[in-house]
């Protein structure tokens, strides 16, 4: 027993010592947190075959070859070196001479003011450099002069104002470049030779105003797939910019990332280059008033077009001839007052049409009949006072019609209308305000396949609610099944008078349960006068709910 106790004690001591040690070695990896120089030296003497080294929250300020050899050792197999969150201010050119197999170097969260490419001359295998979150203002030399393998360069969160052309000129294998959160005042043709670049980030530039950029900024970037420029705007010629961008491999093009304001998009803005790779065109938040694209062969693969958050007053101001394969069109948050068939009918492949949050007061009954593949129609947050569910209005595949937040007082239901619509949304309207229109609801109930029927209507009082429920129960054949579907899919929202009714019902059940419990308790102990308690409950109930409870002995 004594020996077992001693063994457990020794193991506990060793475990506590291991926790207190600032450096830990596991599977050829060294991780040091808040280590002193002596800690680093003792670890390097005993570990010469490390592949991954991480040192953070130490206080050394200068990196050179002597420091590396003394405190990190000559680990010829080292592949990843992370020296984040320290106080490093300078790095000598020969610092990493011993690490010929080094592939990833992270110097993030330090105090570097300059980044000199000379240290790469001695690191021929380096592929990843992370120098983010420093104070870098000066970029020196040519990163790719003697290293052609660099693929990932992160210079974000620094104080860089300009990027010299020669600094990136030979990085032909670079695929990722992040210049976000800097103080860029201009961007020259610095990306022209980055023929492998697929992701470019220039988000949240901290210098005031838009950045003047060279018109050929994207020239030669045939493999570019993603450009992130959130909260950064550019001063650039539209036609030259789009000409070179058309050569890229972008799948989504958001002009709002680059420009503050357009008044009109016309066919002259786009060059003769074909945007073959772009699937998603985003022209939202540009202040557009008119849209007229070029001929159809320029956007052969585009399926999504976003024109929301602009100033378009009429659909007639939109020419969408190039988009033969368009499947989703968003025109929400504009100033559209009417729906024109002329623009919509050519869109044979359209599946989703969003016209929400406009000023539409009327819908031409033949606008949607030729949209053979339309599945979802959103007309919510408009000024529609009536809407007709007629066979001539829609195709046979429509699933969703959203009429939420309209001042609707009338819904017309045509013959065979129940065949095409499954989901109808009617939140917050005035359908039940007029007594003559309540009868129309009986016709509306012929939509036996409705799966979601939302009527959160502030105009419905208790009497109208009861009438609506009576019609639903008597007319809708599949009501019971569909209500079960609501419960399963958690799509049926209870609110308004119905919510109050359910709360009152629940309260009655609770009161009944309490009364039964008191009776059982009194009969068991025979020490409580049941009549007195019930009288108090009845008085309380009468006061709160304005109703009588008759108690007989």
* Structure confidence by residue, pLDDT tens digits, 270-305: 545 556 778 888 888 878 888 876 554 467 788 999
Given a contact cutoff of 8 angstroms between Cβ atoms, the answer to whether 256 and 265 are in contact is no
Given a contact cutoff of 8 angstroms between Cβ atoms, the answer to whether 23 and 45 are in contact is no
- What local confidence, expressed as pLDDT, does residue 296 receive? 43
Residue 243: CB partners within 8 Å, gap ≥ 6? 271, 273
Is residue 414 domain-resident? no
DSSP symbols for 508-536: HHHHHHHHHHHHHHHHHH--S-HHHHHHH
Is residue 244 domain-resident? no
Instruction: Return the percentage of the chain with pLDDT > 70, whole number.
Output: 63
- Residue 428 predicted with pLDDT over 80: no
What number is the average pLDDT over the span 249-273? 56
pLDDT interval class at 382 (50, 70, 90): very high
E strand spans, 236-375? 252-254, 264-265, 280-282, 290-292, 304-306, 318-319, 328-330, 338-339, 352-354, 362-363
Helix (H, G, I), strand (E, B) or coil at 333: coil
Angle at 333 between CA 403 and CA 286, to 5 degrees: 160
Is residue 506 domain-resident? yes
Is residue 458 domain-resident? no
Write out 169-202 in H/E/C secondary structure: CCCCCCCEEECCCCCCCCECCCCCCCCCCCEEEC
- What local confidence, expressed as pLDDT, does residue 448 receive? 47
| H or E element at residue 471 | helix 462-475
Highest mean pLDDT, choosing among 3-17, 377-391, 417-431, 527-541:
377-391
- Residue 363 predicted with pLDDT over 50: yes
Is residue 515 domain-resident? yes
The per-residue pLDDT of the chain, averaged, comes to 74
What's the token pair of residue 462? 């208790």
- What local confidence, expressed as pLDDT, does residue 220 receive? 66
What number is the average pLDDT over the span 491-519? 64
Is residue 519 domain-resident? yes
- What local confidence, expressed as pLDDT, does residue 492 receive? 40
- What local confidence, expressed as pLDDT, does residue 467 receive? 55
- What local confidence, expressed as pLDDT, does residue 461 receive? 47
Given a contact cutoff of 8 angstroms between Cβ atoms, the answer to whether 86 and 55 are in contact is yes
What number is the average pLDDT over the span 429-447? 54
Residues recorded for the chain: 553
- What local confidence, expressed as pLDDT, does residue 45 receive? 66
Per the structure, the count of domains in the chain is: 1
Given a contact cutoff of 8 angstroms between Cβ atoms, the answer to whether 162 and 185 are in contact is yes
What number is the average pLDDT over the span 98-125? 88
Q: What tens digit of pLDDT does each residue of 164-184 get?
A: 988 988 888 999 999 999 998
- What local confidence, expressed as pLDDT, does residue 153 receive? 95
Least confident of 86-95, 462-471, 500-509: 462-471
pLDDT interval class at 409 (50, 70, 90): confident
Q: What tens digit of pLDDT does each residue of 446-468 get?
A: 554 454 455 555 444 444 555 55
Q: Which of 101, 147, 87 is nearest to 120 (CA)?
A: 147
Least confident of 475-479, 487-491, 518-522: 487-491
Q: What tens digit of pLDDT does each residue of 6-40 get?
A: 556 555 544 544 455 788 888 888 888 888 887 87
Number of DSSP helices (H) and strands (E) in the chain, helices first: 11, 32
What number is the average pLDDT over the span 118-138? 89
- What local confidence, expressed as pLDDT, does residue 132 receive? 96
Q: Give the integer Cα–Cα distance in Å for 290 and 264.
A: 5
What are φ and ψ of residue 516, in 5° steps? Answer: -60, -40
Is residue 388 domain-resident? no
Is residue 539 domain-resident? yes
Q: Could you tell me the CA-to-CA distances from 16 to 20, 24, 30, 46, 176 in Å, in that order? A: 6, 13, 19, 21, 43
- Residue 43 predicted with pLDDT over 90: no
| H or E element at residue 309 | none
Looking at the DSSP bridge assignments, the partners of residue 106 are 82, 130
- What local confidence, expressed as pLDDT, does residue 456 receive? 53
Domain that holds residue 529: 500-545
Query: Sign (positive/negative) of CA torsion 406, 411, 415, 419?
Result: positive
pLDDT interval class at 393 (50, 70, 90): low
- Residue 353 predicted with pLDDT over 60: yes
Looking at the DSSP bridge assignments, the partners of residue 264 are 290
What are φ and ψ of residue 256, in 5° steps? Answer: -65, -15
């Amino acid at each position: 027993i004594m020996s077992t106790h001693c063994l457990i004690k020794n193991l506990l001591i060793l475990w506590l010592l291991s926790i207190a040690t600032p450096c830990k070695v596991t599977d050829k990896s060294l991780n040091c947190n808040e280590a002193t120089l002596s800690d680093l030296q003792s670890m390097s003497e005993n570990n010469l075959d490390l592949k991954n080294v991480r040192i953070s929250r130490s206080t050394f300020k200068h990196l050179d070859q002597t420091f590396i050899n003394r405190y990190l050792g000559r680990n010829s197999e080292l592949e990843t070196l992370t020296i984040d969150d320290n106080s490093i201010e300078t790095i000598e050119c020969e610092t990493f001479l011993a690490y010929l197999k080094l592939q990833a170097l992270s110097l993030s969260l330090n105090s570097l003011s300059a980044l000199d490419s000379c240290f790469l001359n001695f690191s021929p295998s380096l592929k990843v450099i992370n120098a983010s979150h420093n104070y870098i203002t000066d970029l020196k030399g040519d990163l790719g002069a003697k290293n052609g393998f660099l693929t990932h360069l992160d210079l974000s969160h620094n104080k860089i104002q300009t990027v010299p052309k020669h600094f990136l000129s030979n990085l032909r294998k670079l695929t990722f470049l992040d210049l976000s959160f800097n103080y860029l005042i201009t961007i020259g043709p610095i990306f022209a030779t980055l023929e492998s670049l697929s992701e470019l980030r220039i988000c949240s530039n901290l210098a005031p105003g838009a950045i003047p950029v060279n018109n050929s900024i994207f020239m030669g970037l045939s493999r570019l797939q993603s450009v992130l420029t959130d909260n950064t705007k550019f001063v650039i010629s539209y036609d030259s910019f789009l000409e070179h961008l058309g050569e890229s491999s972008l799948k989504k093009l958001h002009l709002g990332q680059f420009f503050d304001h357009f008044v009109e998009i016309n066919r002259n803005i786009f060059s003769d280059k074909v945007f073959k790779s772009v699937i998603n065109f985003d022209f939202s938040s540009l202040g557009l008033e008119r849209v007229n694209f070029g001929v159809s062969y320029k956007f052969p693969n585009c399926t999504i077009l976003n024109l929301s958050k602009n100033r378009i007053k009429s659909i007639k101001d939109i020419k969408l001839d190039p988009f033969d394969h368009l499947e989703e069109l968003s025109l929400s948050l504009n100033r559209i007052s009417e729906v024109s068939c002329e623009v919509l009918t050519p869109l044979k492949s359209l599946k989703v049409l969003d016209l929400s949050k406009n000023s539409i007061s009327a819908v031409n009954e033949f606008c949607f009949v030729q949209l053979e593949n339309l599945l979802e129609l959103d007309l919510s947050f408009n000024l529609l006072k009536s809407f007709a569910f007629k066979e001539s209005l829609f195709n046979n595949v429509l699933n969703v019609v959203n009429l939420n937040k309209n001042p609707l007082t009338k819904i017309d239901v045509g013959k065979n209308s129940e065949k095409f619509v499954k989901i109808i949304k009617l939140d917050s309207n005035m359908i039940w305000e007029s007594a003559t229109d309540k009868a129309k609801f009986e016709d509306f109930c012929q939509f036996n396949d409705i799966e979601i029927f939302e009527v959160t209507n502030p105009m419905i009082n208790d009497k109208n609610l009861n009438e609506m429920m009576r019609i639903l129960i008597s007319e809708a054949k599949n009501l019971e099944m569909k209500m079960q579907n609501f419960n399963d899919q958690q799509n049926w929202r209870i609110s308004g008078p119905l919510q109050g009714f359910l709360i009152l019902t629940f309260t009655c059940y609770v009161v009944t349960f309490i009364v039964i419990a008191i009776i059982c308790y009194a009969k068991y102990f025979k020490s409580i006068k049941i009549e007195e308690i019930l009288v108090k409950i009845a008085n309380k109930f009468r006061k709160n709910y304005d109703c009588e409870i008759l108690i007989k002995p």
